[in-house]
């Protein structure tokens, strides 16, 4: 039974005003039949097809799909036969030719960010640097390729966004200077993390000489993981705990927390230990090693366990995600399922 109330509304394609496109929908792994429903001048009629025929698409695996259609003046609606899946609860709507198609955005309003959410982003370094000009401290974008652009985009979209990261303050800065710098950065929604310079040097050395080559599947004869881990692993955790403390202090409710890259791989565990309900995302701006390489890392279980404290983990490409899943299976004895 074809029910218009279970339809998915098409919206105008911004790249081609003469074309309508569906929002992304999840369909079951099978042959899915569908047809179009025309709504015009308050009248509703099903697409005219030969008796017993429907459009069909075969999905070899679960995935999000788009359906496109050129409909001229008419509003088209896609209804997928979801007998083997949970049917979406979509309210019945009536449109006529004068209806503003932006109304259809109500279908996805509950899953799209509004900009009012509380968001905390953390990277090892802030996207801004501070320097003194004409006797005043000023903040400027850093020379990093990614974070300044991401900072600008985030602050333009989210009213309640904060960015946590290390800021390099000159050794000559006084307590008054530090206070002015912190006030300046706070006005830019940036929260500085202060680190001892000797601690910082060892932390950066560990990340750049050990973690980064290792995470890119590189093992050097000079890279004595056991010895380096003994000397530097505790420092890596101390820095991650400093970031976790700075993030927790900003959490007034249950914000979205987004962590970046290999510098903060232990931070999810540190945060969850302080707030078990934390909503954490992590994105690796690098590869992830094969399980054969990963299993030689002395603290392999701790890193995986910490990453699994996240609600979502992002990788550049699927092979990196697969390496992560296989490492969890091989080292932690976990199982996983593709969806």
Q: Which residue has the higher pLDDT, 310 or 213?
A: 310
| Predicted local confidence at residue 47, as pLDDT | 61
The position carrying tokens 């710098």 is 181
The band of 16, judged by pLDDT with boundaries at 50, 70 and 90, is low
| Predicted local confidence at residue 66, as pLDDT | 44
Mean pLDDT of 27-47: 57
3-state secondary structure of 183: helix
C-beta separation of 328 from 291 below 8 A: no
- Helices in 94-174 by DSSP H: which ranges? 147-157
Q: Provide the whole-model pTM.
A: 0.65
Tell me the percentage of the chain whose pLDDT exceeds 90.
40
Residue 213's alpha-carbon distances to 144, 216, 316, in angstroms, are 20, 5, 17
Q: Which residue has the higher pLDDT, 2 or 130?
A: 130
pLDDT of 84 over the 50 cut = no
| Predicted local confidence at residue 298, as pLDDT | 86
pLDDT of 270 over the 50 cut = yes
pLDDT of 230 over the 80 cut = no
| Predicted local confidence at residue 8, as pLDDT | 66
| Predicted local confidence at residue 191, as pLDDT | 96
pLDDT of 87 over the 50 cut = no
CA distance 219 to 229: 14
94-122 per-position pLDDT tens digit:
434 444 545 444 444 444 556 677 899 99
Report the DSSP beta bridge partners of residue 39: 44, 75
Question: What's the gap between Cα 21 and its chain centre?
Answer: 25
Q: Which residue has the higher pLDDT, 334 or 101?
A: 334
The band of 280, judged by pLDDT with boundaries at 50, 70 and 90, is very high
Mean pLDDT of 275-292: 91
| Predicted local confidence at residue 167, as pLDDT | 93
CA distance 267 to 303: 10
C-beta separation of 291 from 318 below 8 A: no
The band of 40, judged by pLDDT with boundaries at 50, 70 and 90, is low
Q: Which residue has the higher pLDDT, 241 or 93?
A: 241
β-pairing verdict for 31-40 and 43-46: antiparallel
pLDDT of 29 over the 50 cut = no
Mean pLDDT of 321-334: 93
Mean pLDDT of 312-323: 93
What are the backbone dihedrals phi and psi of residue 43, each rounded to the nearest 5 degrees, phi first? Answer: -100, 145
Give helix 225-250 / helix 197-206 axis angle, nearest 10°: 120
Mean pLDDT of 266-281: 91
Please give the mean pLDDT across all residues of the chain: 76
- Name, in order, each residue with C-beta under 8 angstroms of 182's C-beta and a sequence gap of 6 or more: 192
C-beta separation of 123 from 263 below 8 A: yes
| Predicted local confidence at residue 200, as pLDDT | 94
Query: Burial of 288 by CB count in 10 Å (0-12 exposed, 13-18 middle, 19+ buried)?
Result: buried
Query: Burial of 209 by CB count in 10 Å (0-12 exposed, 13-18 middle, 19+ buried)?
Result: middle
pLDDT of 305 over the 70 cut = yes
The band of 130, judged by pLDDT with boundaries at 50, 70 and 90, is very high
Q: Which residue has the higher pLDDT, 151 or 15?
A: 151
């Amino acid at each position: 039974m074809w029910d218009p109330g279970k339809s998915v509304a098409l919206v105008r394609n911004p790249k081609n005003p003469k074309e309508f496109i569906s929002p992304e929908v999840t369909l079951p792994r099978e042959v899915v039949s569908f047809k179009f429903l025309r709504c015009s001048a308050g009248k509703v009629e099903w697409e005219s097809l030969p008796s017993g025929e429907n459009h069909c698409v075969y999905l070899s695996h679960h995935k999000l799909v788009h359906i496109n259609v050129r409909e001229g003046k008419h509003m088209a609606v896609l209804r997928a036969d979801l007998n083997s899946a949970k049917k979406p609860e979509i309210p019945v709507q009536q449109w006529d030719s004068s209806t503003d198609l932006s109304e259809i955005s109500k279908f996805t309003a509950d899953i799209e960010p509004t900009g009012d959410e509380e968001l905390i982003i953390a990277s090892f370094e802030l996207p801004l640097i501070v320097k003194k000009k004409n006797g005043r401290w000023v903040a400027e974008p850093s020379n990093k390729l990614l974070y300044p652009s991401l900072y600008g985009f985030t602050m333009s979209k989210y009213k309640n966004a904060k960015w946590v990261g290390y800021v390099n303050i000159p050794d000559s800065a006084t307590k008054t200077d530090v206070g002015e710098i912190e006030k300046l950065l706070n006005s830019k929604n940036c929260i500085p993390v202060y680190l001892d310079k000797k601690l910082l040097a060892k932390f950066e050395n560990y990340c750049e000489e050990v973690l980064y080559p290792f995470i890119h599947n590189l093992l050097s004869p000079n890279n004595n993981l056991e010895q380096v881990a003994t000397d530097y692993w505790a420092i890596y955790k101390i820095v991650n705990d400093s970031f976790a403390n700075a993030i927790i202090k900003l959490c007034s409710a249950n914000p979205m927390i987004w962590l970046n890259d290999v510098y903060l791989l232990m931070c999810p565990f540190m945060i969850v230990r302080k707030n078990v309900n934390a909503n954490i995302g992590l994105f690796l701006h690098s590869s992830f090693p094969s399980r054969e390489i990963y299993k030689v890392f002395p603290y392999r279980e701790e890193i995986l366990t910490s990453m699994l404290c996240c609600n979502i983990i992002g990788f550049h490409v699927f092979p990196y995600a697969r390496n992560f899943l296989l490492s969890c299976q091989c080292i932690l004895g976990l199982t996983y399922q593709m969806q």
